[in-house]
Chains A and B, each alone.
Chain A
């Protein structure tokens, strides 16, 4: 048996790590594609709209018409209030806001990891810096695992495709050592 049969080349080790980090990046960025984030965004938009409407002026027109309109408005407002109260309870009960904020933070943090991954590959020997990015991605994975979707073959193949592009783009910077056995 020779060293070449048991030791992966530096290129292979880098490639494995890049794909591994990209799998986490894809999952991290996909965290924001959940219903809680959609609900949270609508909730925020609706709150802003209600606030704006509340600040708007008076109804104009003849007094009789205005009275009828006001009666209707009270009924509609009451019904709307009930619906809103129910939605608000659901919102609180399922920690929607907290989950959504977590998911959005995961998306942003992993976007930064993606950038750092690209930068790390521009070194003459990317591995030391790449290992820092690997650790960073693992820490984020532990912090955000509850909001991150699971991996799978689709994520892996997408990570491999992105990884190939990233490696093709950056391999011109590399001056890698020959494969060694270590201790």
Chain B
């Protein structure tokens, strides 16, 4: 774990998470692209929010039209919805007062963290494996 990640964890009390959007039967929702790739619908957020956090910025893969996403909404735990068919490293930055805390992490790691208690679900496990394989 890098120093910046330690700082992030220390001040925010936990890692950022990612969760698939699930349909009523608990299966991850996806959009199928023309080439057949499954683009899963994913919500990024912070697990525990301390009041001092004002903005969270998610810096995504540069292939997104808008790779810089921001959330200023503590009520939703600074949630931001994205789609993805594969794994990549993203930067998460949280503005805490005058400081900027940053974490660089793989999307699949965030998904595993967000679905920690549901990794036995075949749909979720398969979706994570699909993402990790691309």
Q: Do A and B bind each other?
A: yes
Give the B-binding residues of A (Cβ under 8 A). Answer: 1-3, 5-7, 10, 13, 17, 20, 127, 131, 134-135, 138, 141-143, 145-146, 177, 179-183
User: Which residues of A sit under 8 angstroms from B57, Cβ to Cβ?
Assistant: 138
The contact string, 1 if C-beta is below 8 Å from chain A, for chain B 43-70, is 0000000000011010011011111101
Q: In this assembly, does B83 line the interface, its C-beta being within 8 Å of a C-beta of chain A?
A: yes
CB contacts between A and B, total, < 8 Å: 74
Q: Looking at chain A's contact residues, is the secondary structure mostly helix, strand, loop, or mixed?
A: helix
Identify 13 new A-B residue pairs, CB closer than 8 A, beyond the known A7-B83, A181-B83.
Answer: A2-B31, A127-B65, A127-B66, A134-B68, A142-B100, A177-B65, A180-B64, A180-B65, A181-B31, A181-B33, A181-B39, A182-B63, A183-B84
B83 touches A141 (CB 8 A): no
- Given the complex of chains A and B, what is the CA–CA distance between A142 and B100 in angstroms? 8
Is A6 in contact with B84, judged by CB distance below 8 angstroms? no
Chain B contacts for A6, CB-based, 8 A: 31, 39, 41, 81, 83
Which of these binds chain A: B9-17, B91-99, B116-124?
A: B91-99
Bound: A179/B64 CA distance, A: 10
Question: Within the complex, which residue of B33, B72, B88 is in contact with A20, where a contact is CB–CB below 8 Å?
Answer: B72
Binding site for A on B (CB under 8 A): 29-31, 33, 39, 41, 54-55, 57, 60-61, 63-68, 70, 72, 81-86, 88, 95, 97-100
Give the chain B neighbours of A141 by CB distance below 8 A: 54-55, 95
